[in-house]
Structure 1
Amino acid sequence: MSATEIISYHAPAEPGFAKIGQAFRRAVVSQLHPRMLLALLLPFFIALLGAIILLWLFWSPLTLWIDQFISAWGPLDALDQWLLAVGWFSLKLWMLPVLVPVMAAGLLLPMAGILGLVIAAIFVMPIVLRHLERHNYPGLKRQGRHVTVLGTWNAIWVGTLFCLGWLLTMPLWLLPPFALVLPVFWWAFAVNRMLRVDALIEHASPPERRLLWRRNSRLLWLLAGCLSLLNLIPLFWLVMPVFSALAYAHFCLDALRELRAQTLIDPQEFSHAS
């Protein structure tokens, strides 16, 4: 069949929330497979080792810097002086012993977490894709190009941008709305920009990837936002790298299979036609 003789197949489109719910359900089932449970170990140990090294090297200088920064922060200093003037209490005296270690942990632990996500994207995602290809998406042809280079470069630059963005926006945590909004935003950014690439680069051709990202941009961000909110749950971060990879892989591979079914042509022919 030539590229101009595409027969469209108008399958009923599922609502966006249904597709995300389906990806989550399938990710839960896949996560319970022994192979996927074993895959949890690598990013977990990398993140744990990273956290230990970061805390050991940077805890003391970082807490000292945060303490000096907050103590010299104009609005807080003015409020503290006013409270003392009216005979109440020193806000710094009560707040700094709690706030400084919380901010230091909030700065260092995500650095270890993003390292775990990078490891999952580079080394675990290929294992995830092979597992899903065998059990959930048999016959889905691989059309990716420059897979290793593309995936590694994407994971590194997204991880670097995440760290820089997290560091630069950290002072905004002192303003109540940003303390919740910024962590969710940066994790959603990292998860989406990293895993949407790794979930498709092995199976989708470059034109297919661009088309799927454009069609599903909002849903992919919504999926990343849901995973980022789950990451606020204390124990979820233990499984987040692999579970997120599974959720993205299910969503993206299902979308790719649907795209190819709608055109009813060979994926290689679609790639050449594009």
Structure 2
Amino acid sequence: MRLLLDSFWRAVAYCLHPRVIVLSLAPLALMAIVGVGLGYFYWTPAVAWMREALDAWPILSTFWGWIGADAANFKDVLAPMGVIFLATPVVVVVSLLIVAGMMAPALTGLVAKRRFPVLQEKHGASFFLSVFRSLGLTLLAMLALVVSIPLWLVPPLVIVLPPIIWGWLTYQVMSFDALAEHASADERRQLLRAHRWPLMGIGVLCGYLGAAPSIVWASGVVFAAAFFVLIPLAIWIYTLVFAFSALWFAHYCLDALARQRAERAAEQAAAVPALPESATTDVTAAATSQWKAP
């Protein structure tokens, strides 16, 4: 419990580090660059396509006939808004994936450099192994979410099952990534087995924290007038939650790894038999005579 609370408060404090704040703003900057680039090359064709889709949609034909002459003006406003609403989730997901791929190693390196500068790196997992493992676990989590959807109709389970599934995914991915550079494969397996439940608890708590941006995101969809304010706010909160989660796992896992190595070194030192006093005297005398020899 002490290790859990200590790593929690350290992760909170590290969220105020300038480097963490800059990384949390990176998705917004990347979204702006991608959005401007896509708008420069594809805005006019995309709006034209959306306007044709609105004209061809049978469900809306009655609505266009009802508003009459104002239909053209309404389409001029609705078509750009439709393009923005469709493109924003894609841009957000791509930006978050890119930044998340850069953030976790950077934050783990920050923790290692500041708290554990002498902790040996044993490189127990490669970058590609981490990526393929994360993708496989993400697919399993998505499948579990789809299978569990019927259970969401039971009121208590809808607020329990999704955070548990995302918490399990967070625990599996972030604890592995936090130990990928510093722990050997055997050390990583032993540590994850020994600290399975505390790490799972961290993952579930981070899963509940990850629901906060969804509330802001839903508000941006409902209140279209505040869309351009609430959606960037939701993205920034989501990135900050991701940074906090990565920092919490990094502090916990690296501290646990340092303790595990210290305990193993102490056990190995205790297992070495002590030399008898007479043997120690003979060895010392032999070494002294050898040092004095010409």
TM normalised by structure 2 equals: 0.57
1:32 aligns with 2:16: yes
Aligned equivalents of 1:187, 1:181: Cα separation in 2: 10
Larger helix percent: 2
2:102 aligns with one of 98, 120, 123: 123
TM alignment of 1:234-249, pairs within 5 A: 234=213, 236-249=237-250
CA apart distance, 1:203: 0.3
The answer to whether the 8 Å contact 1:121/1:155 transfers is no
> For 1:222-262, what per-residue CA distance to the aligned partner results, in whole angstroms no more than 9, with x for missing partners?
11122222233346534221111110000000000111111
Question: Larger radius of gyration, structure 1 or 2?
Answer: 2
Aligned equivalents of 1:150, 1:191: Cα separation in 2: 17
Aligned equivalents of 2:10, 2:204: Cα separation in 1: 18
Identity of aligned residues (%): 30
CA apart distance, 1:45: 7.1
Which has the bigger relative contact order, CA under 8 A and spacing at least 6?
1
1:206 aligns with 2:185: yes
Paired AA for residue 170 in structure 2:
V
Aligned equivalents of 1:153, 1:43: Cα separation in 2: 23
> For 1:158-190, what per-residue CA distance to the aligned partner results, in whole angstroms no more than 9, with x for missing partners?
222222222222232222122101121111111
2:200 aligns with one of 221, 236, 246: 221
Paired AA for residue 27 in structure 1:
A
TM alignment of 1:17-56, pairs within 5 A: 18-42=2-26
Q: How many residues align?
A: 191
Matched residue, 1:262: 263
Aligned equivalents of 2:94, 2:160: Cα separation in 1: 18
Aligned equivalents of 2:239, 2:180: Cα separation in 1: 26
Q: Describe the shift of the 1:132–1:46 C-alpha distance in structure 2 as closer, same or farther (beyond 3 A).
A: same
CA apart distance, 1:43: 5.5
Q: Describe the shift of the 1:221–1:47 C-alpha distance in structure 2 as closer, same or farther (beyond 3 A).
A: farther
2:118 aligns with one of 99, 124, 139: 139
Aligned equivalents of 2:110, 2:6: Cα separation in 1: 18
TM alignment of 1:6-155, pairs within 5 A: 16=1, 18-42=2-26, 116=96, 119=98, 122-155=101-134
**Secondary structure at 1:21's aligned position in 2?**
helix
Matched residue, 1:231: 210
Paired AA for residue 180 in structure 1:
I
Q: Describe the shift of the 1:44–1:263 C-alpha distance in structure 2 as closer, same or farther (beyond 3 A).
A: farther
Q: Describe the shift of the 1:140–1:238 C-alpha distance in structure 2 as closer, same or farther (beyond 3 A).
A: same
Aligned equivalents of 1:166, 1:241: Cα separation in 2: 20
Paired AA for residue 190 in structure 2:
L
Paired AA for residue 169 in structure 1:
S
The answer to whether the 8 Å contact 2:108/2:246 transfers is no
Aligned equivalents of 1:47, 1:22: Cα separation in 2: 35
Q: Describe the shift of the 1:186–1:120 C-alpha distance in structure 2 as closer, same or farther (beyond 3 A).
A: farther
Aligned equivalents of 1:166, 1:114: Cα separation in 2: 21
Paired AA for residue 171 in structure 1:
P
1:253 aligns with 2:254: yes
Aligned equivalents of 1:114, 1:258: Cα separation in 2: 38
CA apart distance, 1:133: 1.8
Paired AA for residue 136 in structure 1:
R
